[in-house]
A and B are shown apart, each in its own frame.
Chain A
């Protein structure tokens, strides 16, 4: 059988090498290679999707000996939790490449870094070996650091440095936890499947490992109060960088929360579940209120990510606390679907803000007005994406958040206060739409051009997917549920 997971995983890396080899070629060639490679990667991901997942455990597993002396190997594969995220990454990268075709500044280096990032992202979601996971997890930091430092906005150097050091500080405890589980496993191995089937640590050792992992993922997700790197990095990153950062890289945290914390230290997670739940609730509410206080459009959207990822944390914590397997599956279904929805919706929003900034060179809401009349396509697209983000039924976030809240009501009804976050986000999006798009257009924006073909091409698929996931979530949930329903812990 064709090793399609590995092919999908390393295609972007090959593309990056090709661009490096052709570094004297014109910019258009570099962008073309980027688009074609990420398009092929998307096809690979769709192929993986068509092969589907197993009832239990991982499907499409590919293995290769690497360091047998210490039980590390190249192991990749997918299940219902990782497969949707792989597909999401492939879609977002492909569209980001289309959107980025305008980058004139050092285009080769830009494409190389983006492709490297794509391999890192798909690798993080498909790795079944803890070392391999960590390698991809960290490589993404390096690429994103150079992305922000090289193509960001005004204050990019500081933001990039802060991002790199902060998230490295965040991810190193994971390394300790991985080592701890390695030393605790019998026979010693880095095989994540073995750790999931047979959690290697127990008692206080498991609790320590969980604490280390929770710290790592809390920084990555990010959960209040570990979120301070996020607004700076997002605001300074180039638009495509923001799309990837929010759409894909924040999912590393929530994915790790499920894959590592929940599946490898289930007992400890159940004990600490209520604390995690509290963090999730606080993060969701804090993110909403903090976003409400922003006047910078990009910063506002960045902070709504804290809100949406907070719901995911709530969902995972509820899954850990739930006794009834059906409720647990519902909570996890909602969490995984929320990750995908957030990727689509926030990706669209960041692209839109990027397009707006390309035209107006500002992100201050107060300086706009009446853009719906000047640039109707951009305006209506923003309205659709904003409505999706605030959880309107029929759009992508609704089925996910609904399931999370449903499970929360069954397990820990008090935590449903988190629903307040929706009211706040609704308020802030309506305010943003009112300020930027409604009313009479200001004179200075009268000549603003609406979206061109390239921009529509990069945006439309996201908007379509937002509606599709909203109307027919079963397309994704069937795959997700297969795995979540069978989880034993």
Chain B
């Protein structure tokens, strides 16, 4: 038991951090809560490092400690720390500031449970844990837009969650256990395997904002504070995608599930970028872009079990996506939510302009930036698994994505004809986040081996 708990030190550290931060918040000491949260997250990230290279599980196989789950910690915990910095810059000084930090960490804990799930019950637990916190975060501003967005989000989550639990009961009935590793027993009962998988895709797909379960996302991002939108588009999404990888890993091969996932991937990418092409608000544009990016993640899911590149590409793209998306949202915090706010912004503040261009080009997958390395490996994984057509669709979507992201770039470097737009505000904490995200967006391409190496 003690040995098992030792493997869980990052999660336990995170949990204790949440408790301490909550206590600090109850004592009305938001600054202390912030300090506790940041140091706790960094400590938990550091404690995850020794776990690299392990492939084991705890609690009778229900909670996995493998490459995916450890890298999930190493990516999501620092990403949460960056989000907290953004939240501090945006919501600092407001009422219940500390609750935001606590809720953010709670959602992260749920996402980590998702990414490490070895059991259907943990899957449910993760979805609920990360869901509950998210509703409260979206509703945080307590205005009409936020309340409506949170309501929509909540109803959506309840329905999809119920569908998922219903479908999982089929798997339980078919295998007699809730362990994912026993799913191979469904070899001969295709129907049960499919019903359960569809249900899981519904439940996790809403969280990862896959089409057609994405409707809540643009409204929620638009209604929520920008820092919360940034967080929501990164942490719970990556958690859900990794959970999907944990599930399909154990599905019996020979069934058609990869095709189903591939079709959803095509829908998600294409719809996301087409919708992004007509948005007038940068936050909504980035919301649709993050929907489309979720479709790219699925290229690796399709290849899980058939290509060794699947895990690699999933981890590298997760890291790349986390930094470039957080960076882009951080720039939005400096400049403004509307596309008009971006007019000539790149000329007025050169540094932020360059940073935004780098984030957007990375999202579009232009080399040598982080997004390129991730997408390159994703394409490779899909082709290795025999899904060349999917890679071709993804590549065509990359062209579409360039048109989407260049919409912002073009506006940013337009001649400054109006003085209406205000100069970008400079917030020290946001600048720090931008610098960190920028460094990683440039560096992940060069240092991909650092991520690849430990996985062998």
Contact = CB atoms under 8 A, between A and B. Distances in A.
A131 B453 CA distance: 18
A183 B410 contact: no
Interface string B62-79: 000000000000000000
B379 A176 contact: yes
Contacts of B452: 67, 69-70
A141 B372 CA distance: 14
Nearest to B375: A175
A69 B399 contact: no
A164 B405 CA distance: 12
B367 A134 contact: yes
Interface in A167-203: 168-169, 172-173, 175-176, 179-180, 182-183
Given A135-B368, A161-B406, A67 B392 contact: no
Nearest to B364: A168
B215 interface: no
27 contacts: A65-B449, A66-B449, A67-B448, A69-B452, A69-B453, A69-B456, A138-B372, A142-B361, A142-B366, A149-B413, A161-B406, A164-B402, A164-B406, A165-B406, A168-B402, A169-B399, A172-B399, A173-B395, A175-B376, A175-B395, A176-B391, A176-B392, A179-B383, A179-B391, A182-B380, A183-B380, A183-B383
Contacts of B392: 176
Interface string A156-170: 010001001100110
A68 B449 contact: yes
Contacts of B368: 135, 139
Given A175-B376, A176-B383, A176-B391, A150 B413 contact: yes
Interface in B278-305: none
Nearest to A141: B366
Contacts of A172: 395-396, 398-399
A181 to B, nearest CB: 11
Interface string A64-86: 01111110000000000000000
B455 to A, nearest CB: 7
A102 interface: no
A67 B456 CA distance: 11
A70 B445 CA distance: 13
Nearest to A134: B367
B275 interface: no
A294 B243 CA distance: 60
B399 A179 contact: no
B384 interface: yes
Contacts of A141: 366
Contact of B449 (A67, A173, A175): A67
A131 B312 contact: no
Interface residues of B, number: 34
A134 B309 CA distance: 19
Contacts, number: 79
Interface string A40-71: 00000000000000000000000001111110
A140 to B, nearest CB: 11
Nearest to B406: A161
Nearest to A68: B449
A168 to B, nearest CB: 5
Contacts of B177: none
**Which secondary structure dominates chain A's binding surface?**
helix
A165 to B, nearest CB: 6
Given A135-B372, A161-B403, A168-B402, 13 more contacts: A70-B377, A149-B413, A157-B410, A161-B410, A165-B403, A172-B395, A172-B396, A172-B399, A175-B379, A176-B395, A179-B380, A183-B380, A183-B384
B396 to A, nearest CB: 8
Interface in A286-313: none
A23 interface: yes
A69 B312 contact: yes
B388 interface: yes
Given A23-B350, A67-B448, A69-B453, A180 B406 contact: no
A247 to B, nearest CB: 23
Contacts of B453: 69
A176 B399 CA distance: 14
A64 to B, nearest CB: 11
In the complex, which of the residues A67, A135, A172, A176 has the most CB atoms of chain B within 10 Å of its own CB atom?
A67
A164 B455 CA distance: 36
Contacts of A157: 410
Interface in B295-327: 309, 312
A223 to B, nearest CB: 20
Nearest to A73: B449
Nearest to B415: A157
In the complex, which of the residues B377, B402, B445, B446 has the most CB atoms of chain A within 10 Å of its own CB atom?
B402
In the complex, which of the residues A134, A141, A175 has the most CB atoms of chain B within 10 Å of its own CB atom?
A175
Contacts of B380: 179, 182-183
Nearest to B453: A69
A66 B444 CA distance: 12
A168 B395 CA distance: 10
A154 to B, nearest CB: 13
